[in-house]
Every structure is written in C-alpha cells, then in structure tokens.
C-alpha cells in the first residue's frame, strides 16, 4: 500500500520535510487509528465515541516545544467539560510517555504512542517520512467522529495556535 506523500508540507528549522498521508479538513470523517496507551493496551478512535477529543500531536515529549505544548493542554484540560478528552499523540515509546507524565505531573491528558504502526501519522497526514516522527498538529474530533478543527503547524519547531484550537473546541461544544 503506497501512501500519499506531500513534499515540503512541513519544515524543521527551515529544512523541507515530506508528510505521509492526506491533509484532513474540518467536516471530514475522522480516520480510525491504532495507538498504544502507557500500559500497552490498544487505543482507537472508537474508544472515544460520543466524546469530543482534542488531539495534540507532537514529535517528541523530550523536546522543549512539545513539553510546553503538552503541559499547556494538560492545564487547559482541567477547565474543559467532562465529555472532552485530551490526547497527546507522539511516536515516543509508551514507557517514555509515562515517565514524562510522571515528571511533569500531567494527569489531565492521555498520552498515546504511534511508534508501533504509525497508523495515526499516516491516517492524519502527519507522519514525517524523513524522521519517522509525527509533525506538530492539532485536531478536534466531535462526538459524531467528524473533524471539527485541524491545524498543521508548518514549522515543526513552532507552537500551534493554542487559542484558536481552544476557541474552536468551545464553539464545537456549543454547536
């Protein structure tokens, strides 16, 4: 199976990168995925049916911007309604994610790993071909499993637009 490749879809410190998979847009059905939780159990989109899911995608929790992005969403998660789940997806090993969560006291989010199959990366168009890491992005999937919001951050070392994502989340909750 050959996946779509989007050359120059992202950059790392200005150097062009190829993202594998199609770019998703608001209104589309959210593709399913197979991720690993910190306890090595399998997690897929169906686990969140009927909930709104904010998916924060980072290359690695062990880098400064990813660390700050994940801490920010952990802080915001405590202010969100109970029917909203915040996932952080990276290609880090589940053990590294668990260690990071403990050290950062990140207990309001769920970290899940795409290291095994990179099915999330390919399905959501964020797999960096050259690095086998995920490109920084934010997705909001509604209870109907449709994408309500998608942001692909062009320069991987930059932050996403937190306020825009959180405003879209709040607007979707009112819809």
Q: What CA–CA distance (Å, rounded) separates 154 from 20?
A: 14
Residue of 66, 87, 89, 153 marked catalytic: 66
In the Cβ-directed half-sphere of 44, how many Cα atoms lie within 13 Å? Answer: 9
DSSP letter at 83?
T
Question: 66 with 106: CB under 8 angstroms?
Answer: no
Instruction: Specify whether 101 is catalytic.
Output: no
CB atoms within 10 A of CB 26: 14
Residues belonging to the active site: 66
């Amino acid at each position: 199976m050959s996946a779509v490749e989007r050359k120059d879809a992202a950059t790392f410190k200005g150097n062009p990168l190829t993202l594998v998979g199609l770019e998703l847009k608001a209104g589309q059905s959210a593709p399913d995925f197979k991720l690993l939780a910190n306890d090595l159990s399998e997690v897929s989109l169906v686990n969140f049916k009927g909930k709104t899911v904010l998916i924060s995608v980072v290359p690695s929790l062990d880098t400064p911007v990813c660390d700050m992005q994940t801490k920010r969403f952990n802080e915001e998660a405590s202010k969100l309604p109970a029917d909203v789940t915040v996932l952080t997806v990276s290609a880090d090993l589940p053990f590294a994610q668990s260690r990071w969560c403990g050290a950062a006291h990140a207990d309001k989010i769920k970290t899940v790993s795409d290291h095994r199959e990179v099915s999330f990366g390919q399905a959501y168009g964020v797999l960096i071909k050259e690095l086998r890491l995920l490109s920084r992005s934010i997705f909001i999937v509604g209870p109907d499993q449709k994408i309500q919001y998608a942001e692909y951050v062009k320069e991987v070392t930059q932050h996403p637009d937190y306020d825009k994502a959180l405003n879209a989340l709040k607007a979707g909750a009112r819809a």
